[in-house]
Amino acid sequence: MKRMLLLAVALCTAWGVTAQPRLHVGPNEPIGEPVGINKGRVAWIHNPGVATWDGETGFWVEERWNDQQKADAMVRQAVMTLAGKKSPKAAWKALFKNFNQRHGKGNVGYKEGEKIAIKLNMNNAITHRETIELNSSPYVTLALLRSLIGDGGVREEDVIVCEPSRAITDSIYNRCHREFPEVVFIDNLGGEGRLKCEYYPEQLKYSVDNGKMARGLAKCIVDSEYLINSALLKTHKGPGVTLTAKNWYGATDINLMWRMNAHNGISPDKRHGKPSYKTMVDWIGHKDLGQKCLLFLIDGTYGSRDVNGAPAPKWQKAPFNGEWCCSIIVSQDPLACDVVGMDLLIHEWPEFGSFNYCDEYLREAAMIPHPVTGVTYDPERDGEPLTAPLGLMEHADKNRNYTKLDVVYVKQ
């Protein structure tokens, strides 16, 4: 039997056949209910040349390897495509109004004094100094600020750029603070222009007994009226992917050193896919996390096959053709946003072992109030469980086509 298995693997390799990961949901099998101004819409903006690092020289964050004008154009196009508007100003206005209507606040937009926190993904940064590893892009972050403030009319002092569990590096702080000195920066360390994060204890109750998982939430997250989840396009050993859902873990009072933290209910059962409670569903459904998020953004200007280290390798398959991914993905639907990012990663590197059953948290969230596990998801443990799907998920077919998800691809 072992010899037959080895022979099969050898033949697949020789014939160019790549094993596909085992997933809970097949292609073009939509589950859940769409969310957002244009329900279930995902804007995928692709601008080749926005990221050009050679993979060897200096740091990927250096100006010579990144095009700020292209990053600006990508963010503006993303909000226009998502909202279906002809200008970024009209798009932001529509996104705010739709969000407030869906949250019972009426047909109103952003008001001066309302705080908006942008949650970055700086998971590989534990000091303010620069690192070769892939974290949030300074160029995408500045582009987001330029559009939110310049197009969206949001006051600088109402915007918070935060990474409660890690450090905001100099490449982001210096580039953004120079242009927007009134924007507040909050990280786990504090100092050098950043405020040190404070936390409210026992904000995350979890739907089941979740052991030593962090329960405190950053005050800047809880006290904000709106959130923007600015995640990264990366794989992750264990969970399979690290996209917007996992990015919420960084809003908790976890330890700066990742080995000190629990990771219960995050990784799927890789061997046989036995259904189990998923912590990420609680994060998506929590009133002060996913349910307060105006915009979900996945920064794939580089994208990476590994969660640690420098971004690598370049993307070989169409439409990337040996260059970096050079993409951003945005949506108001958290499940739709993550499944499109997941599909991009799986299509590029199907052999990555941790992809097996990585879509379970999406299936669970899409099937509320009757998920496969039978778990009653009540993130606040207030006796008012979630009663409706948290969004729409659907995997693409081999030609990257969707049937119910409204994925709009724009190449600039």
pLDDT tens for residues 253-279?
988 887 888 788 999 998 889 999 999
Which of 70, 90, 68 has its CA nearest to residue 80? 90
Overall size of the chain counted in residues: 412
Task: Tell which phi-psi region holds residue 363, choosing left (phi > 0), alpha (psi between -120 and 50) or beta.
Answer: alpha
What is the predicted pLDDT for the residue at 6?
36
> Which positions ≥6 away from 7 have C-beta within 8 Å?
none
Q: Give the predicted TM-score (pTM) of the model.
A: 0.95
3-state class (DSSP) for residue 339: helix
Q: Which residues pair with 214 in a beta bridge?
A: none
Two tokens, residue 250: 């960084």
| DSSP H helix total and E strand total for the chain | 10, 14
Name the DSSP letter for residue 140. H
pLDDT in tens, 336-388: 999 999 999 999 999 999 999 999 999 999 999 999 999 999 999 999 999 99
What is the predicted pLDDT for the residue at 224?
98
Instruction: List the chain residues with pLDDT less than 50.
Output: 1-17
Count of beta carbons in the 10 Å neighbourhood of residue 253:
20
CA angle 293, 298, 304 (to 5 degrees): 150
What is the predicted pLDDT for the residue at 261?
84
Half-sphere exposure for 31 (CA within 13 Å, toward CB): 24
- Phi, psi (degrees; rounded to nearest 5) at 119: -90, 110
Strands (E), 183-244: 184-187, 195-196, 199-200, 217-218, 226-236, 240-242
